[in-house]
């Protein structure tokens, strides 16, 4: 009986040991499970904080993108302002002409999966947005400059067109003036020819007056010789009384003739004086006509030279 009891106690102790071992193992497993749950909760909490941070950053990026879509808000957000005499400058005071069109993506390529890397990526995206805003401003400035150049080109073309129209009108006026000048030149040529003919006639009349003057001088000299001869004859006849009466009669006739000749002489002298005055007047008119003819010839040459230069 005792042996059977002992035999029963041995399995019981062994079972108790196994139970204790199983209990210890269970407690160990339970402890491990608790530790794993705590670590999982910590990891989940860490992941939740990262998700909330990422959501916040995404919301920031969305609001930033909306702001960037409005030009004046984008300028204010990027710190871009317009200074008098310089133009657009960024938040660092760099003018528009020194802005770069390239975007530095080196930080984005080297960023890791940590929150710090995400923040750097967000800053990089923000910088990229600012760079895009700058590029938009640069493009708008260049477009405005090109538009101004096009406007200036159109204005230059319009001005050139007006100049061409003005020059065409001037050319037409010059053609009309040339036609009028030709008609004037023809009239002047006809007048010059008339003046040349009139001058020739006046010269012929002057030559005739000179011939008449020489003839009158010859008649006067002949008359003088005749009177001298009569005076000599009278003196010769005075020596004879018989011939006195005849001589007196002849003398009376001679006196009458002399008086008549003197009257004719005075008349001839008056005519000669008149012819000389007429000759002087004609010579003055001739000189005046020649001067007018020379002036008109010089004027014709000057007008012809101006027409050829135009």
What's the rounded mean pLDDT across residues 249-257?
Answer: 75
Q: Is the Cα dihedral 44, 48, 54, 55 positive or negative?
A: positive
For residue 105, give both structure tokens. Answer: 């993506």
Please name which of 86, 79, 83, 85 lies closest in space to residue 134, comparing C-alpha atoms.
79
The set of residues, in sequence order, having a beta carbon less than 8 Å from that of 257 and lying 6+ positions away, is none
pLDDT over 70 at 261, yes or no = yes
DSSP state, residue 95: B
What's the rounded mean pLDDT across residues 128-149?
Answer: 75
What residues does 95 pair with on adjacent strands? 89
pLDDT over 70 at 298, yes or no = yes
- 118 band by pLDDT with thresholds 50, 70 and 90: low
The set of residues, in sequence order, having a beta carbon less than 8 Å from that of 91 and lying 6+ positions away, is 78, 79, 80
Q: Do the beta carbons of residue 134 and residue 97 sit within 8 Å?
A: no
Q: Do the beta carbons of residue 216 and residue 271 sit within 8 Å?
A: yes
Please name which of 222, 202, 207, 206 lies closest in space to residue 268, comparing C-alpha atoms.
222
Which pLDDT tens digit goes with each residue over 186-197? 887 788 788 888
pLDDT over 80 at 162, yes or no = yes
Rounded CA gap, 279 and 201, in Å? 13
pLDDT of residue 2: 39
DSSP state, residue 111: -
Please name which of 108, 104, 105, 74 lies closest in space to residue 91, comparing C-alpha atoms.
74
Strand, helix or coil for residue 310: coil
- 5 band by pLDDT with thresholds 50, 70 and 90: very low
Which pLDDT tens digit goes with each residue over 11-36? 445 555 666 666 666 677 666 666 76
For residue 148, give both structure tokens. Answer: 């101004």
pLDDT over 70 at 259, yes or no = yes
Q: Do the beta carbons of residue 268 and residue 219 sit within 8 Å?
A: yes
Radius of gyration of the chain (CA): 69
pLDDT of residue 34: 66
What residues does 82 pair with on adjacent strands? 88
Query: How many C-beta atoms lie closer than 10 Å to residue 78's C-beta?
Result: 21
Residue, of 186 and 84, whose pLDDT is higher? 186
pLDDT of residue 36: 66
């Amino acid at each position: 009986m005792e042996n059977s009891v002992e035999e029963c106690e041995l399995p019981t102790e062994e079972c108790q040991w196994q139970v204790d071992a199983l209990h210890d193992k269970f407690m160990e497993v339970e402890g491990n499970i608790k530790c794993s749950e705590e670590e999982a909760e910590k990891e989940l909490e860490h992941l939740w904080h990262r998700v909330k941070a990422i959501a916040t950053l995404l919301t920031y990026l969305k609001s930033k993108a909306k702001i960037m879509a409005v030009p004046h808000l984008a300028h204010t957000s990027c710190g871009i302002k317009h200074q008098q005499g310089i133009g657009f400058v960024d938040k660092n005071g760099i003018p528009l002409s020194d802005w770069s069109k390239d975007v530095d993506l080196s930080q984005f390529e080297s960023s890791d999966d940590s929150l710090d890397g995400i923040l750097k990526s967000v800053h990089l995206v923000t910088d990229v947005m600012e760079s895009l805003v700058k590029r938009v401003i640069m493009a708008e400035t260049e477009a405005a400059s090109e538009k101004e150049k096009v406007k200036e080109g159109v204005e230059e073309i319009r001005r050139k067109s007006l100049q061409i129209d003005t020059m065409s009108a001037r050319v037409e006026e010059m053609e009309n003036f040339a036609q009028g000048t030709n008609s004037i030149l023809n009239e002047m040529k006809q007048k010059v020819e008339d003046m040349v003919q009139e001058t020739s006639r006046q010269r012929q009349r002057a030559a005739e007056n000179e011939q008449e003057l020489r003839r009158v001088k010859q008649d006067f000299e002949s008359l003088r010789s005749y009177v001298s001869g009569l005076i000599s004859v009278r003196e010769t006849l005075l020596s004879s009384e018989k011939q006195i009466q005849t001589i007196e009669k002849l003398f009376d006739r001679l006196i009458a003739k002399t008086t008549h000749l003197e009257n004719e002489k005075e008349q001839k002298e008056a005519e000669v004086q008149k012819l000389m005055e007429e000759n002087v007047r004609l010579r003055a008119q001739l000189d005046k006509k020649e001067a007018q003819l020379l002036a008109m010839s010089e004027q014709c040459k000057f007008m012809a030279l101006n027409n050829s230069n135009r």
